[in-house]
Structure 1
Amino acid sequence: MPERVFLGWHRPFLGLLTEWLLARREELPGMLVVVPTAQAGRLLREALAEAAGGLLAPRVVTPGHFLHTEEAAPEAIELLAWVEVLESIGDWSPYAAAFPLPPGEDEAPGWAMGLAKSLTGVRKSLQENALMLADAARRLGKTVEGERWEALAALEVKVEQQLKRWRFESRSRVVARGTEIDATRRIVLAGVPDFPAAVVRHLSEAIVLIGAPGSEAGLFDEFGRPVVGWTERKIAWPESGSVTLTADPRQQAAEAMQIAATAGTSSDDLVLGSADEATAGELVRAFGRSGWVLHDPAHLPPAPLKAWLAAWRQFVSRPDAAEAIDLLGYAETGALIGGKRAQRVMALSAARDQWLARDRDDLQRIATVTSRNPEALQLAEETLESLQRHRAVFLREGAHAGLSRLLERIDPRGERSGAIFEWLDATASVAEEVRREPGLWIDLLCSTLPEGTVVPPEDRVLDIQGWLELFHEPGKHLIVCGMNEGLVPGRASSDAWLPEGTRRLLGLSHDAARHARDAYLLTAMIEVRRNDGRVDLLLAKTGSDGDVLLPSRLLLATDEGELPLRVKKLFREIEPPDSSLAWTLDEIWRWKPPVIDKEPRIGVTTFADYLACPFRFYLKHIAGMSEPDPERVEWNQRDFGNVAHIIVERWALDGEAKDFSKEAAIEAWVHEELDRVIAERFGSKVPLAIRIQRESMRQRLSWFARIQAGERERGWQIAEVETKFELDIDGVTVVGRVDRIERHDDGRRRVLDYKTGTTAGPVESSHRTGIVASTRFPAHLENVPQILCTGSDGKPKRWKNLQVALYSAALGDVDELGYFQLGATEGDVKLSLWDGFSIADRDSALACARWIVGQVKNQVFWPPAEKVDFDDYAVLELGRSLGESVTWKGGAA
């Protein structure tokens, strides 16, 4: 039988434990001291060293020491065995009790990996009581769960047989068989309130040190674990200290800092803990702002290279531009492509944004049909070619050899890849027997790599302890955050295989046991500081994700008389920490765009942008800011219009086709050219969304053919296509391109611009808008007579677009101006002419253009318009207006 020793709780447990051990210093080398966590072990070793200097210290371990199994199969091998077994089952009827619907049917590839992880998780939970699935099935045989567990046990047999063929033994079997413990050492359980049931077999002769007075002996079992009686006891709130309700983790951390500062507690006397990971991170930041360097031992970074491996796995599965961009986001990839990661990402992103390029084949096709930015296209293609070359070698050599080669390149010194090479060595023998695609091995690797380690900062003054470590901390002032239900005590099991009732029947940890344990720990931590110390408990109403949190049931453990007061305090309404702060936009909160001074060269189509908003004009045409959309899978309005323009331009450049007067001939030509353009960009694998849009464009082109045939019959003939021009306006070059210039058999001359958008209305109303008594001009257009004009109806108007009007100024005598609209409906495919356009209109447009040129030359791009029809820069407004969210240091209106 274990020997129980009650050390009391008149002062912190660590001091009592150290005294008890030092009183038996001659026996220490033969002791195996068991503490609840590795952090508690560190505290004990430091306390012994400080109290006694150089002595032969005992061996200090955690309960997991008794379940250590070096000879068991690696986790990845056991996971693979489950995958192999699950995928090998053709008839699931023998397992219908566990799987009424056969797994794998109508599911995506990889279903077996997800199910394997679930079942290995069940087996790992059962190891807590040294059980296998077969043992659990026997225990549950007479319950409603019996048949289900028998089915799982039958699968387990197949998995164990598979592991045996690979010359391995599962960890579950090794734990169930039991491990040998050095019998020469005396086991001392030092303040361990909870441990796996499988450990009990090693503790029959242990000394159990309990941090409580002997008067509480009836509330502990023979191994020092709190019994259910603790859940029925009242827990007195700290007399010296507080219980504080906060809004969220951030405010909770700020309150903890304020409590420590007000109390004037030194770092040597302060114990800081959190049962909530989110609050622990906030504590690091809150105390850091006040000069305290804190360390959160529970916050472990992911395994080195794990994120890169996941990105590489995606590229191996799909070697496209999108996956390459994700892969280039990691510095390690630079070793595979010769650097220039940023430039390569920009080149690939631009190709995807401008051309919807998906892969290397698309890039090669695009390079043959455009002369625009060939260097970027070449860099993008070279990037994919280089990565695909490494991928081909990886696939040819297999995951193990291929990963070894890659790791030697991206981590030549082996500073971050040691754990991966160990994993590769441990699984190499099975990889030779099991032929699996490399992606699965990477999935196994990422699933089973241990978490990374973190080196505590040398200048730290305090560690943030977890809930179980706090009992071993000796400081006089204890601050505990995260006193919410689901955190203290921990959340009840949500595992569909192991609900709380099943866990009880199987002798696994369950909610009642955790409740008793945590009730004892909280009571003890308050009692050890009742006469000489302070305890502050904090909780939040909402978590970091906004979910509503409840107070821990431990804070409500009181009698009926006091309960209403506690409920009133813990459930009261509380304002968010920033609810009383008025938002003010001073300079520090405003975005400051760069002031760019470059020689202006204005496009004829951009005057409309300045008239709409000078600052948005600056962002778009001077700063070159735009919001890319490389993730789209279909044409946007720009893409659709560009393709339509290419088709009708090529048609008009065909000397024979442009003079077709028959609708069928024109239709056949443009339809064939549409298919050719699609093939140039997408090859034979055209995405579904593009195929749908292709048919929409095919319909528009049919309507175009009908209108064009009619115009040719009426004597209009195409003379020039895509004609470039330049205008010099006050020393600034204004450039443009006319889509189509026609001549009539009678000598008249007509200029047309293609419009594919759905918003193109009559030409005149697209260029100027009416003015009435109530018209309110945008601030940048107030008192600017150059924008005013008279419409063809004789009414006052103002310019909002100058494009077609300036065609007249650039091309000389023009008899007709207008649009050839290629709208979405049959009625929207038509000619729209500017009736009544005059020399006075041309001169007025030139005057307006001259004013805009002057503004641009003088860098007048402020103030921004309050309202615009289409806003490409709404994301910069921060929910306000550009005028409020931006500080402009350039010219002012």
Structure 2
Amino acid sequence: MVISREFVTWDRPILHSAADWLIRSATVSPENLPLVDLSHCLVVVPGGLAGRRLVELLVQKVEHDGRSLIPPVVITVGQLPEHLYEAKLPFASELTQQFAWGETLRAFGNDQLKPLIPFPPDANDLGTWRDYGDSVRRVYRELVSDAFDFSEVAQKAHSLEDFTEQPRWDVLAKLQSAYLARLDTLQMWDKQSARLYAIKQDECHSDSHIVLLATVDLNRATRQMLDQVAGKGGKVTAIVGAPDSWSDHFDEHGCLVADAWTDEAIELDWKSVAIVDGPTQQADEAVGAIASVAKKYTAKDIIVGLPDEHLLGEVRRIFGQHGLKCRFGPGRSVVSTLPFRLIETIIELSQTRQYNALAAALRHPDLFQTLTFAQPGIEKLDNWFNKRLPDVIDNSIQNEEVSQAVGKLNELAAPFVGEKRSLPEWADQVRMLLLAVYGSQTIDLDTEANFQLARPLQAVNEAMTQWNDIPETLSQAFGASEMLRVLKSQLSSSMIPAEHDAEAIEALGWLELPLMDAPVCVVTSFNDGLIPSANTADLFLPNSLRNLLGLEDDSIRYARDAYQVQAIQHSREVVKWIVPKRSADGDPLAPSRLLFTGSTNDLANRVHKFFGTPEDPQNQAKQPGQDAQDHQQRIAIPVPDSLEVVEMPAWDRFSATRINQYLKCPYRFYLKYVLRLRGEDDSSTELDGGAFGNLAHDTLQAFGTSDLKGSADEKVIFDFLSAELSDLAAKRYGKSPLATIKLQIEQLRLRLRAFAAGQAQHRQDGWIIHRCEAEVAGPYPTILVDGNEIELEGRIDRIDHHPESGQWAVWDYKTGDSTGDPEKDHQIGPRNDKKWVSVQLPFYRHLVKSVGVRGEVSLGYITLPKLGEEVRFREAKWGESDLDEADATIVQAIQDIRAGKFFPPGDVRYEDEFSRICQDTVLGKWEPAQ
């Protein structure tokens, strides 16, 4: 008997046509009961989601006719082989296979392995050996799925011209024999090898009616097994989701004929194709497509395809802004869930004293609650970190709450320190950890907690249960980090499905889209490399070798994706193809080549539509009223311009720093000084400009107030500064600061060496240091604003005096990388119309009066620039009229502050704690709402 093919139209959802066909093929009850009996059918589907939906449709259709259903057995393609033969030995689990391959490689001998692994790891590096073994296992599994093994590949590779990998495949063939022999001694079977054995021994059979539903890319081994079943009288039917007229595009198994699809024209309606810029615009376009059909369709009628699953976060964010929910069908990886991250965090903390490990543990939501660690504790921890920037945890944490939390964490981490254990022993320790954190919780399986906690905990426990099945000959003693490596490898592909939500729009991966029956389909990331996908670099099986062996190569992937595009396009009522030009990183993307396979009549226009500029009329053809609709669809979080102040400060005293901050950005001034907002985190990896400047200022202040301030000896000056810098750095940042801070300290030391030379020369020129860090603490100088005397306060970095000439000089230390020009820093604009953007130095001429300085003073910078540039004393060349304008700027700023004028934000070109609030990088942020 041959495999029969049944073509069902793709002008309607394929699952519906398949369900109708199955009902028609049901066994008729001899008693004429209203019963649809499909128990004799074994239905094979590409994925589990399609299988569940098929059963739902069968139930709905049968019950609609007033009948009852005995459903078929529905399995996925990967489960089919084990239904076609009888295993004579228990199968080795994937974990056992991985261990067996690793041990096989480790025992093979380094000299023999050189063609495969030129630089083998140390014999005791078991984790790396397992990783190598797992790489080999994956290649072996793929080959066996196409009815090959390493020995056959080694033989066939001889026919490839200029093939240079023959020695490698010869080694792999020997490794295969050794690996299978190792499993034989364990009385276990490798599942893939067992399938190949069943084929070679002609053992495949089935009493069920096997129905292959849209399984268009079965591997060779599965097809050979089905051929044996059919050859022995078994009934096999392939349901193909395509019209009869396309029969030459499918082989006898209902699988794609790659050559038939190579030159096939994929005619897409270009009105359904949207070309956008990047991820956010993709999500915006998807929302727009959904909004355009919202009157006719509900959430259950819409699916969103995500060929690039990294887009999910942006889609959820933009959907949420529009009041839409998005459910990702495959769910989330177990290793990204809180229970697994808890294990990971505690083990990392047990292995290192680094601050990052402690911070991650204290911020873990579940540990946070277990430790009864309050939010102020995190803020205190951040504050301590930002003051010391430690690399490792020391005893300098003085806060009692933080110290208690650290102590509790150390108790949880203690079992994972030092000692090596077997995997089953480690499983007990992991379970005790999870019980300590989650044991007191009662989880309602009907709530979200089931998906957030119960299922991840179950997945972790099931993975650890497999550790008991590892044969003793493969069992080893592990450190905690090695154990975690094994657990993470096991769970890396395990997914926790998302909770069902009838109001959510379903988002699915590319391969699951064709069989889903929602009438509206929005496909994102319609780009080359994703659709069609490509195997750009394979360590063992390059495309030329795949072609020779008949394995899945780029041509087969192309055929599969071309078919899926056709099936989606024909079976939906509404389809939207979204093509981004850029990735999230800003890298350019190419459109799917499937967009250019149709008629050549308008090919140039299609190419121009994608690669043309946004100004091109072809890229801006819109329907009447489209501009208004686009504006409504474009979401922006407006910077609030109606500023409400609960309590306005008195504003009867000002410093230069506050005036300067207002001049740079009135809105930031409002956030900082009126609302008193501040940012606090522990993301710093080096001293910021403020901390670096403070360290320099304090070191220089120590010199300026010391007995050596009058020295003209460069070496004496530098030796003092260098010693003072070391003392200050040790007090602030401890004995183990971050490596970047150590480097910054040494960079500052080099700048101080240059300062010592400049200071020595300055002293020889007759100048002496009069005051350093002169604090104006009253009586305060004043400036007249609207008839009121407003006090001025602040601190002057340094005041110098020249006794012979009677001159005074006020200096501001500058430690930035630029050399610092006082005029350019304070004023911008053309020569005759300059605008004051900083009043730091002009402000000082008012402050010096309160510290006893009378008469004319010069103003300027002492620059300590980066390595290679000399320290300079830069005097500003301002006249009285310039300084009068500076005073007017100060008065105007004070007037505006007191009047509550804080909007709009200034044009700030640097990132700070308020950048996101001010939307510095958002284009069009000042567009008025419509």
Normalised-by-shorter TM-score class? 0.7 to 0.9
Moved more, 518-527 or 851-860: 518-527
Q: Which runs of 5+ in 1 are unaligned?
A: 368-373, 558-562, 782-797, 888-893
Identify if the C-alpha distance between structure 1 residues 392 and 815 changes in structure 2 by more than 3 Å, giving closer, same or farther: farther
Q: For each residue in 1:494-516, what CA deviation from the matched residue of structure 2 results, as whole angstroms up to 9, or x when unmatched?
A: 42322344334445334455556
Moved more, 414-423 or 864-873: 864-873
Q: Provide the C-alpha distance between the structure 1 equivalents of 2:219 and 2:635, rounded to a whole number of angstroms.
A: 58
**Which residue identity does 2:390 align to in structure 1?**
A
Give, in angstroms, the shift of residue 420 of structure 1.
Answer: 0.7
The corresponding residue for 1:36 is 46
**Which residue identity does 2:725 align to in structure 1?**
L
Determine if contact 1:267/1:462 at 8 Å carries over to the other structure: yes
Moved more, 693-702 or 40-49: 693-702
- Alignment match of 2:639 (pick from 587, 590, 606): 590
Residue 757 (structure 1) aligned with residue 815 (structure 2): yes
**Which residue identity does 1:208 align to in structure 2?**
T
**Which residue identity does 1:420 align to in structure 2?**
V
Q: Provide the C-alpha distance between the structure 2 equivalents of 1:98 and 1:315, rounded to a whole number of angstroms.
A: 36
Determine if contact 2:40/2:208 at 8 Å carries over to the other structure: yes
- Alignment match of 2:76 (pick from 62, 67, 74): 62
The corresponding residue for 1:791 is none
The corresponding residue for 2:216 is 193
Residue 332 (structure 1) aligned with residue 357 (structure 2): no
Q: Provide the C-alpha distance between the structure 1 equivalents of 2:812 and 2:319, rounded to a whole number of angstroms.
A: 63
Q: For each residue in 1:482-532, what CA deviation from the matched residue of structure 2 results, as whole angstroms up to 9, or x when unmatched?
A: 7776566654574232234433444533445555666677778888x7xxx
The corresponding residue for 1:794 is none
Identify if the C-alpha distance between structure 1 residues 738 and 424 changes in structure 2 by more than 3 Å, giving closer, same or farther: same
The corresponding residue for 1:640 is 692
Q: Provide the C-alpha distance between the structure 2 equivalents of 1:865 and 1:217, rounded to a whole number of angstroms.
A: 66
Identify if the C-alpha distance between structure 1 residues 230 and 852 changes in structure 2 by more than 3 Å, giving closer, same or farther: closer
> What's the % identity of the aligned pairs?
19
- Alignment match of 2:862 (pick from 798, 801, 821): 821
Q: TM-score when scaled to structure 1?
A: 0.74
Identify if the C-alpha distance between structure 1 residues 721 and 177 changes in structure 2 by more than 3 Å, giving closer, same or farther: same
The corresponding residue for 1:231 is 261
Q: Provide the C-alpha distance between the structure 2 equivalents of 1:360 and 1:636, rounded to a whole number of angstroms.
A: 21
Specify the SS of the correspondent of 2:4. Answer: strand
Determine if contact 1:394/1:403 at 8 Å carries over to the other structure: no
Q: Provide the C-alpha distance between the structure 2 equivalents of 1:809 and 1:111, rounded to a whole number of angstroms.
A: 71
Determine if contact 1:602/1:734 at 8 Å carries over to the other structure: yes
Identify if the C-alpha distance between structure 1 residues 653 and 383 changes in structure 2 by more than 3 Å, giving closer, same or farther: farther
Q: Provide the C-alpha distance between the structure 2 equivalents of 1:721 and 1:799, rounded to a whole number of angstroms.
A: 18
The corresponding residue for 1:371 is none
Give, in angstroms, the shift of residue 128 of structure 1.
Answer: 1.9
Identify if the C-alpha distance between structure 1 residues 25 and 495 changes in structure 2 by more than 3 Å, giving closer, same or farther: farther
1:334-733 aligned at under 5 Å gives the runs 334-335=368-369, 337-340=371-374, 342-361=375-394, 364=396, 387-388=409-410, 390-396=412-418, 400-412=427-439, 413=441, 415=454, 416-427=456-467, 433-449=475-491, 450-455=493-498, 457-460=500-503, 490-491=533-534, 494-513=537-556, 538=577, 540=579, 542=581, 546-552=588-594, 556=597, 563-565=599-601, 567=603, 570-573=606-609, 589-592=638-641, 595=645, 597-600=648-651, 602=653, 604-606=655-657, 609=660, 612-613=663-664, 615=666, 617-619=669-671, 621-623=673-675, 631=683, 633-651=685-703, 665-685=716-736, 689-702=740-753, 707=759, 711=763, 725-728=777-780, 729=782
**Which residue identity does 1:29 align to in structure 2?**
S
Give, in angstroms, the shift of residue 62 of structure 1.
Answer: 2.1
Give the number of equivalent residue pairs.
836
Q: Provide the C-alpha distance between the structure 2 equivalents of 1:851 and 1:273, rounded to a whole number of angstroms.
A: 55
Identify if the C-alpha distance between structure 1 residues 334 and 739 changes in structure 2 by more than 3 Å, giving closer, same or farther: same
Q: Provide the C-alpha distance between the structure 1 equivalents of 2:434 and 2:483, rounded to a whole number of angstroms.
A: 15
**Which residue identity does 2:145 align to in structure 1?**
E
Determine if contact 2:45/2:213 at 8 Å carries over to the other structure: yes
Determine if contact 2:330/2:496 at 8 Å carries over to the other structure: no
Q: Provide the C-alpha distance between the structure 2 equivalents of 1:526 and 1:835, rounded to a whole number of angstroms.
A: 73
Give, in angstroms, the shift of residue 678 of structure 1.
Answer: 3.2
Q: For each residue in 1:256-305, what CA deviation from the matched residue of structure 2 results, as whole angstroms up to 9, or x when unmatched?
A: 6488579x57999x686748356996999999999997755346555533
The corresponding residue for 1:297 is 329
Give, in angstroms, the shift of residue 247 of structure 1.
Answer: 1.1
Q: For each residue in 1:566-593, what CA deviation from the matched residue of structure 2 results, as whole angstroms up to 9, or x when unmatched?
A: 6457545157688986999999633457
**Aligned-residue RMSD, C-alpha:** 5.7
Identify if the C-alpha distance between structure 1 residues 611 and 261 changes in structure 2 by more than 3 Å, giving closer, same or farther: closer
Q: Provide the C-alpha distance between the structure 2 equivalents of 1:649 and 1:396, rounded to a whole number of angstroms.
A: 48
Determine if contact 1:276/1:481 at 8 Å carries over to the other structure: yes
Specify the SS of the correspondent of 1:60. Answer: strand
Identify if the C-alpha distance between structure 1 residues 79 and 514 changes in structure 2 by more than 3 Å, giving closer, same or farther: same
Give, in angstroms, the shift of residue 65 of structure 1.
Answer: 1.6
Identify if the C-alpha distance between structure 1 residues 768 and 156 changes in structure 2 by more than 3 Å, giving closer, same or farther: closer
Residue 245 (structure 1) aligned with residue 268 (structure 2): no
Q: Provide the C-alpha distance between the structure 2 equivalents of 1:671 and 1:330, rounded to a whole number of angstroms.
A: 42
Q: Provide the C-alpha distance between the structure 2 equivalents of 1:881 and 1:722, rounded to a whole number of angstroms.
A: 42
- Alignment match of 1:811 (pick from 831, 843, 851): 851
Q: For each residue in 1:755-793, what CA deviation from the matched residue of structure 2 results, as whole angstroms up to 9, or x when unmatched?
A: 243678799x69987999932546xx9xxxxxxxxxxxx
Q: For each residue in 1:689-713, what CA deviation from the matched residue of structure 2 results, as whole angstroms up to 9, or x when unmatched?
A: 5455444444554565664698599
**Which residue identity does 1:405 align to in structure 2?**
M
**Which residue identity does 2:218 align to in structure 1?**
F
**Which residue identity does 2:24 align to in structure 1?**
W
**Which residue identity does 1:725 align to in structure 2?**
A
1:715-864 aligned at under 5 Å gives the runs 725-728=777-780, 729=782, 734-737=792-795, 755-757=813-815, 774-777=832-835, 801-812=841-852, 814=854, 821=862, 823-824=864-865, 829=871, 856-861=897-902
Q: Provide the C-alpha distance between the structure 1 equivalents of 2:292 and 2:804, rounded to a whole number of angstroms.
A: 93
**Which residue identity does 1:4 align to in structure 2?**
S
- Alignment match of 2:354 (pick from 320, 341, 350): 320
Q: For each residue in 1:383-414, what CA deviation from the matched residue of structure 2 results, as whole angstroms up to 9, or x when unmatched?
A: 65654554344224665444333322343346
Specify the SS of the correspondent of 1:225. Answer: coil
Give, in angstroms, the shift of residue 549 of structure 1.
Answer: 1.4
1:63-142 aligned at under 5 Å gives the runs 63-67=77-81, 71-80=90-99, 82=101, 91=110, 93-99=111-117, 101-102=118-119, 115-116=132-133, 118-129=135-146, 131-140=148-157, 142=159
Specify the SS of the correspondent of 2:39. Answer: helix
Specify the SS of the correspondent of 2:590. Answer: coil
Q: Provide the C-alpha distance between the structure 2 equivalents of 1:846 and 1:49, rounded to a whole number of angstroms.
A: 83
Q: For each residue in 1:706-725, what CA deviation from the matched residue of structure 2 results, as whole angstroms up to 9, or x when unmatched?
A: 64698599796878876562
Give, in angstroms, the shift of residue 355 of structure 1.
Answer: 3.6
Moved more, 241-250 or 31-40: 241-250
Q: Provide the C-alpha distance between the structure 2 equivalents of 1:720 and 1:541, rounded to a whole number of angstroms.
A: 58
Q: TM-score when scaled to structure 2?
A: 0.71
Identify if the C-alpha distance between structure 1 residues 547 and 676 changes in structure 2 by more than 3 Å, giving closer, same or farther: same
The corresponding residue for 1:784 is none
Give, in angstroms, the shift of residue 417 of structure 1.
Answer: 1.2
Q: Provide the C-alpha distance between the structure 1 equivalents of 2:284 and 2:821, rounded to a whole number of angstroms.
A: 59
- Alignment match of 1:276 (pick from 307, 326, 348): 307
**Which residue identity does 1:423 align to in structure 2?**
A
Specify the SS of the correspondent of 1:645. Answer: helix
Q: Provide the C-alpha distance between the structure 1 equivalents of 2:802 and 2:142, rounded to a whole number of angstroms.
A: 87
Specify the SS of the correspondent of 2:497. Answer: coil
Q: Provide the C-alpha distance between the structure 2 equivalents of 1:870 and 1:267, rounded to a whole number of angstroms.
A: 40
Q: Answer with 1 or 2: which has the greater Rg.
A: 1
